[in-house]
């Protein structure tokens, strides 16, 4: 299988995604950013898990988390056409894709392998694509 991301000798991470792969990443980053702005009712609540389930969350903590998630997603949007990523950019890609993967699983009630197997084909494809990209990115970081 072709490697989607490759660590170069110079330290950068080469992106070997084709146009469809880059469009997929761009769409994911756009949706995560929209969710953080409150414009995506499907993913929005899923990205805002409380830190302490039994307690009241500090609004500053919530704001800081929203800002960091949005910053990562926007950085992915800015670099989605690049042939090489820095470590910080690759980390933003990994974080954003991972958030999207979890939100997608929560949205579709994928709680175990059986639930994934019985999900609609387009959802299973999206989950597997995200997992493949994450696996490839993780091997470079």
Binding residues for another protein (CB under 8 A) = 49-54, 58, 61, 64-65, 68-69, 72, 91, 94-102, 104-105, 110-113, 115-116, 127, 131, 134-135, 138-139, 141
Query: Between 52 and 83, whose beta carbon lies closer to another protein?
Result: 52
**Among 86, 75, 74, which Cα is nearest to 14's?**
86
Q: Smallest gap, in angstroms, from Cβ of residue 120 to another protein? A: 15
Burial class (CB in 10 A: 0-12, 13-18, 19+), 81: exposed
Burial class (CB in 10 A: 0-12, 13-18, 19+), 7: middle
Q: Smallest gap, in angstroms, from Cβ of residue 2 to another protein? A: 18
Q: Smallest gap, in angstroms, from Cβ of residue 141 to another protein? A: 5
Query: Between 11 and 19, whose beta carbon lies closer to another protein?
Result: 11
**Among 135, 127, 133, 92, which Cα is nearest to 107's?**
127
């Amino acid at each position: 299988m072709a490697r989607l991301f490759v660590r170069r000798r110079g330290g950068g991470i080469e992106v070997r995604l084709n146009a469809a792969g880059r469009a997929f990443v761009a769409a994911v980053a756009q949706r995560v950013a929209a969710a953080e702005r409150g414009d995506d009712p499907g993913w929005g609540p899923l990205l805002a898990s409380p830190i302490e389930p039994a307690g009241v969350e500090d609004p500053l903590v919530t704001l800081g988390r929203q800002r960091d998630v949005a910053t990562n997603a926007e950085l992915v949007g800015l670099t989605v056409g690049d042939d090489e990523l820095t470590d910080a950019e690759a980390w933003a890609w990994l974080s954003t894709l991972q958030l999207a993967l979890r939100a997608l699983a929560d949205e579709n009630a994928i709680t175990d392998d059986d639930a994934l197997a019985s999900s609609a084909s387009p959802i299973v494809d999206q989950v597997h694509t995200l997992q493949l990209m994450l696996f490839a990115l993780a091997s470079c970081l």
